[in-house]
Amino acid sequence: MQKIPYHIDVTSKLHYNPEMKSAYTFVPGIMGLVLMIICAIMTSISIVREKEMGTMEVLLASPLNSTTILISKTIPYLALSIINLATILLLSVFVLNVPIVGNLLLLLFISILFIFLSLSLGLLISTVAQTQVVAMLISGIGLMMPVLILSAMIFPISNMPNFLQWFSTLVPARWYITAVKKVMIQGLGFMAVAKEIAILITMIIVIVTLSIRNIKTRLE
């Protein structure tokens, strides 16, 4: 008796982006790049501007401590950054048609953490740089290339050499972009991004501590 061969058709379908829209891939990356660069540039020139204008003497002579000075420099830019975040999300949803599948509040929480981290990084740069030009070069060019190359925005991290994969763990945008993809595109919950949130919070603590230690207590 001759056996009748079975014919099996296999159809592959992408679960999170079945239409292969490029916006689903580059929107989280653009969010990380824009927030990182803009926030860092805004705050990187804050302390340096005070040094160049001579108003740093007034701040140092006041009863304010270094922590209060840094916080006061961060709050205005934090408000502007939240407006930038809202604009990016509105454009992604209503112009690029990228839906927010996951929890919006969780996405906002992660984004605000990343904004505060970027602002803190800018403050750290401002405590080290001596001129506004140097501060802008470090925060602009110095941060743009790592975000573009090592954050999985363009190139998959799994395809990188081991050294670059390790170095990418120091790039804050990598963890933010990963968390945004999980929440915004895949619709995952808090436990799926708990690792990324913990890393962002740790980076905030380290950078803020370094910024407070590096701020000058007296003019040279």
Per-residue CA distances from 66 to 62, 70, 219 (Å)? 10, 6, 14
- Judge whether residue 182 has pLDDT over 70: yes
Q: What's the rounded mean pLDDT across residues 89-100?
A: 88
Could you tell me the pTM of the whole model? 0.85
Chain mean pLDDT for the chain: 82
Q: What's the rounded mean pLDDT across residues 65-84?
A: 81
* Cβ proximity of 173 and 147 under 8 Å: yes
Highest mean predicted confidence (pLDDT) among 13-17, 26-30, 51-55: 26-30
Please tell me the total number of residues recorded for the chain in this structure: 220
pLDDT band, very low/low/confident/very high, at 204 (cuts 50, 70, 90): very high
Three-state secondary structure readout of 40-70: HHHHHCHHHHHHHHCCHHHHHHCCCCHHHHH
Nearest to 150 by CA among 169, 176, 124: 169
Mark out the alpha helices in 95-160 (DSSP H runs).
Answer: 104-128, 132-150
Q: Cβ contacts of residue 217 below 8 Å, gap of 6+? A: 60, 66
- Judge whether residue 74 has pLDDT over 90: no
CA distance 93 to 88: 9
- Judge whether residue 136 has pLDDT over 70: yes
Q: What angle do CA 176, 178, 183 make, to 5 degrees?
A: 95
Q: What's the rounded mean pLDDT across residues 140-159?
A: 81
